Structure formats: C-alpha cells, structure tokens
Structure 1
Amino acid sequence: MWNRIDLRINTALNRIRKVFRGVLVRVNSTGGVQTVQAKGLAGESLQDAELFQHYGFTSNPLKGTMAVVVPVNGKTSHSIIIATEHATYRLKKLKSGEVALYTDEGSSIILKRGRIIEVNCDEYIVNARNKYQVNTVNYGVTATDKAEFETPLLKGSNEVADGNSTMNKMREIYDEHDHNHGGDAGITDAPNQTM
C-alpha cells in the first residue's frame, strides 16, 4: 500500500515543472517589467515570461542570452526569469571580489581590487545639473589631441603653469617691465596698469 502511495506522490511531483534553463529569443523592454520570449532547453516555448532584475539595475539582454527559468506553481506557462548570462560577452579573469558592468560592444566599468574603478568606453558623458566636483590629492588628464573648456569663466585657486612659466611669474614680469628706447629716449617707466 505504501509503495502505491509513494508512486502516486512521485508521479504527481514529476508533473510539476522544476527550474530549468532557457535561451532568450526576444525581449520587450517597454513595460514596467520586461517580458521575454524564450526557448527551453527541452524545446518548449515561453511567451511573455517576466524578466526580474535587481532594483536599480536593468539591462536588455541580447538574443541568445542564457536564462534561469522558474515556473511559478510548477507551470511552464507562468514562468519568470531570475538570472541571465551571455558567455560570449561576459568579462573574464576578474579577481575574486571584483565587480563589473559591461556591454557586448566592450564598454565596461570595473570595480577592481585596491579601491580602483576602471571605465572603458569610446565616449564618456556626465550630465550634472548643478555641480560636478572631484576631490583628490592629484588629478591628471592625458589628452593626446586637445583639451577644451567651453565656459564663461575658468578659475584656478593658485598657480596655473605651462611648460615654461606660471601665470604669477608672467604677471610679475609684466608689472615690472620697462622699455629701453635707446639714445635720448631713455627707459620708460613700468606700466601704469598692473595685471
């Protein structure tokens, strides 16, 4: 008798769909929660399965992205996607504890060991409505072509230098300079207006 009960229980449990793998075919990113079409590895088709993502993070996975599918109440027709992975584009060789955001085009932000953040992209745009501030001991910019500032006023709190001198040194030279006109003309006084 117990064998028959066990058999019936196992038969019923086997009808309930367990978590399975799938591959995304299409993503609809227009709604509050993204929905996907996917193919299960056993060939089943999923329509409008919800793709759940962590709060504050969102992505629109490419076709061919692998997914972990959870059939709610064991029903394939009411499945949700809880994780996705695309092995072709995932950043590899991260050290233990490192975190990265990345795209299939190669843009990435990597939070590296040693409290280093590395950003890789072709164009980097920051839109700060009121203020952009960087606080650091040393700040370096390497621009191999040029650096431009479009601003009505550019301030430096202390010295501004180029390869030869500083603004203060140029100011001192200007404020104290005179001209030797030679002959009877003599030497002019220093400028009556200082910089």
Structure 2
Amino acid sequence: MRQFLSRLSRRLDNIIARAGVARVRDDSTLQTVQLTILKGETLDGCERFQSYGFTSVPVAGAEAVVVFVGGFRDHALVVAVDDRRYRKKDLQPGESAMYSDEGDHVLLKRGRTIEIVAGTELDITTPLMKCSGDVDAEGVVKVAGTQVVGAQGGAITDALPTTASNTAQLNSVLAALRAHGLIAP
C-alpha cells in the first residue's frame, strides 16, 4: 500500500510544470513545442493547444505551463505560453491587446477606442472596405483606382499641381463645348 501511495504521489507531483520554450514547429495541424523542464530534461513534440481563432509562434525563451496527462512525462500538453520580455504592460482594467516581440500591437482601449501600431505597414486585403465615419489621414494618401466617387458637391482640395492642371484643362474644354452650344451653360 505504501508503495502504491508513493507512486501515486509522484504522479500527482508530475501533473503540472513550468517550462521554457526551446523551439516551435508550426507546420502541422497542431503546433508542437520543444520544452526544457528541469535541469537537462528536454521534451520534444509536445502538443500546444491554443484558443480557437487565435494562433501565435512563441520565440525561444518564452515560458510555458505544461500538463502531463495521468502524471506521465511522455504525454505533455502545453496549455499556456507567455513571454514576460515582450508582454504589453500598463493596460487599464478591461483593456486587452495582441502584441508581437517587435512592439507591434492591437490594443482594445477604454472609451471604445482601438489602437493599432504597426512599425512598417498595415495591409488590409478585401474586395470592399467601408468606413461609416470621417477619415483623418496624415502623410501621403495614394489612390490607385480609376475614379474617385463622392457625394454631389464634393470637392478635392489642395490638389497637387498636376491635378490642378488637369482641372484647368477640363474647365477649358467645358467652356469651349458651352460656347458652341454642345452642352448647357
């Protein structure tokens, strides 16, 4: 009986552990992780479970919480990974964020505001993008489509000289057409 309880106690002690992430394989349907558990103990091919709809590839040195099914070290499941080196800090109660080790983030802030920080580029790929409010842009705004459509009476202001030149030419053509009675004055 004592031997049985001793084995049971060891298995219970081995049910959960902290680990360091050494390497990640992200090329299959379920991500696998190589972990360092104790001094010199390395486990390879540990399945990593992530919340539905979210995925990430942690960098080496991240920390993991590992559950061992039945207390056996040969069946490790990674249930959480965090990296205190890169975690976005100083959020207010109720805020949440997604972040990378490079400092990019999406922050759902108090006051119903979303902050997106991308160090190089924000790429949105969709056949149609709608915005129901005003758009305030700084920097250069480029439009690559064949036309800009706006409400009646809409105007383009502060146009570049080439656009102003095109507008002047168009006004000249319209004046000539009106002068010859081809369009209403």
TM-score class, shorter: 0.7 to 0.9
User: Which sections of structure 2, spanning at least 5 residues, go unmatched?
Assistant: 160-166
The change in CA–CA distance for 1:142 and 1:191 in structure 2 (over 3 A counts) is farther
Greater relative CO (CA pairs within 8 A, separation 6+): 2
Q: Is residue 103 from structure 1 mapped to residue 97 from structure 2 by the alignment?
A: no
Give the structure 1 partner of residue 124 of structure 2: 126
- 1:31-180 maps to which residues of 2 (within 5 A)? 31-121=28-118, 122-128=120-126, 130-136=127-133, 138-143=134-139, 146-158=140-152, 159-163=154-158
Q: How many residues align?
A: 169
**Post-superposition CA distance 1:4-43 (Å, at most 9, x none):** x5x5554122220121100000000001000011001454
Length-normalised TM-score, structure 2? 0.81
Give the structure 1 partner of residue 163 of structure 2: none
User: Which sections of structure 1, spanning at least 5 residues, go unmatched?
Assistant: 165-169, 179-189
Of 2, 6, 16, the match for 1:11: 6
State the 4+ residue runs in structure 1 displaced beyond 3 angstroms.
Answer: 7-10, 190-195
Length-normalised TM-score, structure 1? 0.77
Q: In structure 2, how many angstroms separate the alpha carbons of the residues matched to 1:55 and 1:154?
A: 40
Q: In structure 2, how many angstroms separate the alpha carbons of the residues matched to 1:71 and 1:148?
A: 54
Counterpart residue type for residue 93 of structure 1: D
Structure whose CA Rg is larger: 1
Give the structure 2 partner of residue 21 of structure 1: 18
Q: In structure 2, how many angstroms separate the alpha carbons of the residues matched to 1:194 and 1:71?
A: 83
Shift of 1:191: 3.8
State the secondary structure of the residue aligned to 2:24. strand
**Post-superposition CA distance 1:71-99 (Å, at most 9, x none):** 01111111000000000100000111111
